[in-house]
């Protein structure tokens, strides 16, 4: 499973890039607003740090506007992926980008039927939002399993990009289901390293090694 980071904070992306774990980045208008920075400048900076796909979301909600903005954003760097909302207009714009060979990430997916529509217009990625479904007492991970089954039934190439991740367990479940990508907030990625037995075990090894008085080099 590929790991994308879900943030518009360039410093966090640079730090994660150095871990060798990062396969791509997703942003959205709320994350850009939170950064307080110029959208296109941020996308250009991220694309210089990361070789993998970097999702940049259109702001327009009409087909022509989404196409114009998406084509503009796609010129920033070759690894820009155009993020489009899952609406009738968004899917028309997606089909346009598919035909032009421009990669797309169809976002704000909350149902299996929506994911089916996105695959039929050739979306590169579908972004089901698991955390926001859990927020309204539905089961986000059930949706991921349903989309996996549907895409496998028909050999759709669209990659399942699990979004709105709020816990490390959702990352595990995504991998168990066979999602293609998880886009994860930086704080959750950092939590994935942790286990109390790792910390406790290392503390004991360091202490016991010191007691031997040996050095390796
Ligand atoms: C994904 O592409 C979205 O930007 C993001 O995962 C949404 O997460 P949220 O529901 O925590 O805002």
Residue 171 pLDDT: 98
Residues 12, 16, 18, CA angle at the centre, nearest 5°? Answer: 125
From 8, 163, 187, the mutation candidate for ligand 1 (largest count of ligand atoms within 8 A of CB) is 163
Residue 180 pLDDT: 98
Residue 73 pLDDT: 98
Catalytic site residue 83? yes
Residue 166 pLDDT: 97
Burial of 82 (0-12, 13-18, 19+ CB in 10 A): buried
Residue 48 pLDDT: 98
Q: Whose CA is nearest to atom 9 of ligand 1?
A: 164
Helix (H) or strand (E) holding 2: strand 2-6
Rounded Cα–Cα distance for residues 180 and 203 (Å): 36
Residue 32 pLDDT: 98
The CB of 125 under 6 Å from ligand 1? The reply is no
The whole-model pTM stands at: 0.97
Per-residue pLDDT tens listing for the chain (217 residues): 999 999 999 999 999 999 999 999 999 999 999 999 999 999 999 999 999 999 999 999 999 999 999 999 999 999 999 999 999 999 999 999 999 999 999 999 999 999 999 999 999 999 999 999 999 999 999 999 999 999 999 999 999 999 999 999 999 999 999 999 999 999 999 999 999 999 999 999 999 999 999 999 9
Helix (H) or strand (E) holding 5: strand 2-6
Instruction: Count the alpha carbons within 13 Å of 39 in the hemisphere toward its beta carbon.
Output: 17
Residue 178 pLDDT: 98
CA of 158 to the centre of ligand 1 (A): 19
Please, are residues 166 and 131 in contact by the beta-carbon 8 Å criterion?
yes
């Amino acid at each position: 499973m590929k790991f994308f980071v879900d943030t518009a904070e360039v410093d966090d992306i640079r730090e994660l890039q150095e871990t060798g774990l990062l396969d791509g980045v997703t942003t959205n208008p709320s994350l850009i607003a939170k950064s307080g920075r110029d959208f296109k400048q941020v996308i250009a900076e991220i694309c210089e740090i990361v070789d993998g796909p970097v999702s940049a979301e259109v702001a327009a909600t009409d087909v022509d506007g989404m196409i114009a903005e998406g084509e503009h954003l796609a010129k920033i760097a070759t690894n820009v992926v155009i993020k489009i909302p899952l609406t009738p207009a968004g899917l028309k714009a997606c089909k346009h980008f598919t035909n032009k060979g421009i990669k797309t990430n169809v976002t704000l997916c909350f149902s299996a039927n929506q994911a089916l529509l996105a695959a039929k217009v050739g979306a590169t990625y579908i972004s089901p939002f698991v955390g926001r479904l859990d927020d309204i007492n539905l089961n986000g991970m059930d949706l991921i399993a349903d989309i996996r089954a549907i895409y496998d039934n028909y050999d759709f190439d669209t990659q399942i990009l699990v979004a709105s991740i709020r816990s490390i367990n959702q990352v595990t479940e995504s991998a168990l289901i066979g999602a293609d990508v998880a886009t994860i907030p930086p704080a959750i990625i950092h939590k994935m390293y942790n286990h109390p037995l790792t910390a406790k075990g290392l503390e004991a090894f360091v202490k016991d090694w010191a007691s031997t008085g040996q050095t390796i080099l």
